Amino acid sequence: MGCRVVLFRTFVREKSDKHMNLERTRGLVLRTVKYGDSSLITDVFTETGGVRSFMVRLPRTRRGSVKGSLFRPLCWIEFDYEYRPKVSLQKMRDVHICVSYASLPYDPFKSAIALFLADFLYWALRNEACNPPLFTYIYNSLQWLDRCESGFANFHMVFITRLTRFLGFYPNAEGYCRGDFFDMQNACFTGRRPFHSAYLEAEEASLVPLMMRMRYETMRHFVFNRGQRNRYLAVINDYYRLHIPDFPELKSWEILKEVFD
């Protein structure tokens, strides 16, 4: 009798798997943590469903097709999965790298930027739903950085500034005049000092429209000293904290300060 029950359950599971509505998607790995001896929990920004968390079982032998190296932060993967709304950890199948980096993991300056951006994106996108323009922006930006051979020291500053456009709090620079304050709480410039404390004085505020005008192709022509670059990163971190609930004070940018000093 016990044998029949086991066979019946196996049959039902195989039948269910065959009729499972799997979806093929691409995704950017944001963060991965080890779970037990043979599993990983990974957060992925998917092209079709926004951010999803997955439980990944790793094979105990080297012959397995799923490798832990597939889930390093900022890896681009392609896989099948069926989204189950009541399940916190989804399951993925048939995982493959869909984009191979040529320089990003190997160049010490680029890898420092990548480490910072992986941390930044994890917190910025945690509750992000399906957003094709945002996905395309991140995809194209990281490909540009991977291909670029020089002049990318300002990449992370331009990237996270322009990222706000897709997250809904891009600074409104319409009508900006030199000498204006930047109201970080309301994401706009004003000629009057705001009544709250979340604002930038005129001198620092002038850097914001400058960063907004930058493009990856032209950013090499803008020179920032060490103090200006570090201050801008601190300000943009505070800006995100104002507009995204539970966004932390990131420590990973300390690595960038050391690398680019």
**CA–CA dist 152, 155 (Å, integer):** 5
- Could you identify the residue written with the tokens 């989804």? 90
pLDDT at 33: 92
pLDDT at 170: 93
Homologous superfamily assigned to 108-259: Recombination protein O, C-terminal domain (1.20.1440.120)
Greatest alpha-carbon span in the chain: 84
pLDDT at 49: 92
- What would the two tokens of residue 252 be? 């990973």
Homologous superfamily assigned to 17-99: Nucleic acid-binding proteins (2.40.50.140)
In this chain, the answer to whether the domains covering 17-99 and 108-259 adopt an identical fold is no
Q: Do the beta carbons of residue 66 and residue 56 sit within 8 Å?
A: yes
| Residues of the chain below pLDDT 50 | 2-19
**CA–CA dist 259, 62 (Å, integer):** 36
pLDDT at 14: 44
pLDDT at 6: 41
Can you spell out the DSSP letters for 89-144?
A: SEEEEEEEEEE--SSTTTSHHHHHHHHHHHHHHHHHSTT----HHHHHHHHHHHHH
pLDDT at 57: 85
Domain residue spans in the chain? Answer: 17-99, 108-259
pLDDT at 35: 86
pLDDT at 47: 95
Contacts of 71 by beta carbon, 8 Å cutoff, 6+ apart: 29, 32, 40, 42, 56, 77
- What would the two tokens of residue 65 be? 């097709």
